[in-house]
Amino acid sequence: MTEVTRTADGTAGSSVDVAAEGARIAANMARVVHGKPDVVHLALVVLLAEGHLLVEDVPGVGKTTLAKALAASIDASVRRIQFTPDLLPSDVTGVAIYDQESRAFEFKPGAVFANIVVADEINRASPKTQSALLECMAERQVTVDGVSYELARPFLVMATQNPIEMEGTYPLPEAQRDRFTARVSMGYPDREAELAMLDDLVTTDPLASLTAVADAATVRALVAAVGTLHVSEAVRRYVVTLVEATRRSPHLRLGASPRAGLQLLRTARAAAALAGRDHVLPDDVQTVALPVLSHRLLLSSDAAAGRRSAEQVVSDLLATVPVPRGR
């Protein structure tokens, strides 16, 4: 069981059980995200790894609902940005406005100044506006007119995009996709989950009645606990070997970056903590490898012509790269 002590500001005091707290948040989200426990779990993993999540799938499968359910389950500041072609970078980050009374520029924070930022249909905004999130996601700060402003902790960007309707959209460049810790596809619900949705959503909106079961201080404490998990030398070498294998694969023309290795280890730590362990296993790395690595890779022309996917390449590497054994 992974625990951490904290006070009211999230630094010390009573112990917090990562697995128990995570289970409470997941159960709360499951009230509106039907039949998708793996997707809910991954969202929690990314939150505790201090990362960002890209939710990519066809319309109407619950992408925005997932983001809203996580936001509603945590008593923290939440902002939603509807990305459109006319959205400006200053709408996201903020702008310095001249105050005639004080004869000085006053900074007006943008929508990104929140604990959880829901970037809805991110690929509908121009590349200039998309790039406004780069510094926010990587460094958790905003720089306007040479002045840097720190963002709140925790800070999570959950972006959604529709890969089918591409007219009038701007695909995310590789540099921006690499900022996202993981990518997940919702997929269609199974029959029973879809029947449950019909019962719950026809006359009421469950999101409206969803109440928070954690707060920002609790999340900061959980993040701190995840950072204390032990990672053996063998597991660290396994992570590096997996990342290196993507760079040598003949099926890829762009392998995983060093940032990918860092995110792979951080998410493996979060997965281990949510499982109630104080150490990371190779199984934890394998569990998160597909969503963490696949969206960062570019297929070779031969692999694309052969209709291989990045997920298939990562699965093949997981099957061939030797797994460390022993204690």
Q: What is the pLDDT of residue 1?
A: 54
| DSSP assignment string, 260-305 | HHHHHHHHHHHHHHHTT-SB--HHHHHHHHHHHHGGG-EE-HHHHH
Q: Is the pLDDT of residue 14 over 70?
A: no
State percent of the chain over pLDDT 70: 92
Tokens representing residue 133 in the block: 């999130």
Q: What is the pLDDT of residue 202?
A: 66
Helix (H) or strand (E) holding 311: helix 310-320
Q: What are phi and psi of 239, to 5 degrees?
A: -60, -45
Query: For residue 292, what pLDDT band results from cuts at 50, 70 and 90?
Result: very high
Q: Is the pLDDT of residue 309 over 60?
A: yes
Least confident range from 2-6, 86-90, 117-121, 231-235: namely 2-6
Q: What is the pLDDT of residue 327?
A: 54
State percent of the chain over pLDDT 90: 55
The mean per-residue pLDDT over the stretch 209-222 comes to 91
Q: What is the pLDDT of residue 5?
A: 46
CA distances from 167 to 16, 56, 128 (A): 47, 16, 18
The mean per-residue pLDDT over the stretch 291-305 comes to 93
Q: Return the DSSP state at 325.
A: -
pLDDT digits (tens, 9 = 90+) for 70-122: 988 998 888 889 999 999 999 999 998 888 888 888 889 999 999 999 898 89
The amino acid at 295: H
Closest of 156, 169, 137, 145 to residue 47, by C-alpha: 156
Q: What is the pLDDT of residue 231?
A: 95
C-alpha count within 13 angstroms, C-beta hemisphere, residue 139: 9
CA 67 – CA 185 distance, rounded (Å)? 13
Helix (H) or strand (E) holding 29: helix 18-29
| DSSP assignment string, 10-24 | SSSSEEEEHHHHHHH
Q: What is the pLDDT of residue 173?
A: 83
Q: What is the pLDDT of residue 2?
A: 56
The CA angle 184-188-193, to the nearest 5 degrees, is 115
Closest of 13, 47, 6, 8 to residue 273, by C-alpha: 47
The mean per-residue pLDDT over the stretch 289-317 comes to 93
The mean per-residue pLDDT over the stretch 127-149 comes to 89
Report which of residues 139 and 327 the model is more confident about.
Answer: 139
Domains of the chain plus CATH, in order, are: 3-224 (3.40.50.300), 230-320 (1.10.8.80)
pLDDT digits (tens, 9 = 90+) for 162-188: 777 666 678 888 888 899 999 998 888
CA distances from 34 to 2, 125, 293 (A): 28, 30, 26
Query: For residue 11, what pLDDT band results from cuts at 50, 70 and 90?
Result: very low
What angle do the packed helices 258-274 and 282-293 form, to 10 degrees?
130
CA distances from 128 to 92, 161, 176, 323 (A): 11, 17, 12, 42
Q: Is the pLDDT of residue 18 over 60?
A: yes
Q: Is the pLDDT of residue 277 over 60?
A: yes
What pTM does this model have?
Answer: 0.88
Q: What is the pLDDT of residue 192?
A: 82
The mean per-residue pLDDT over the stretch 250-272 comes to 95
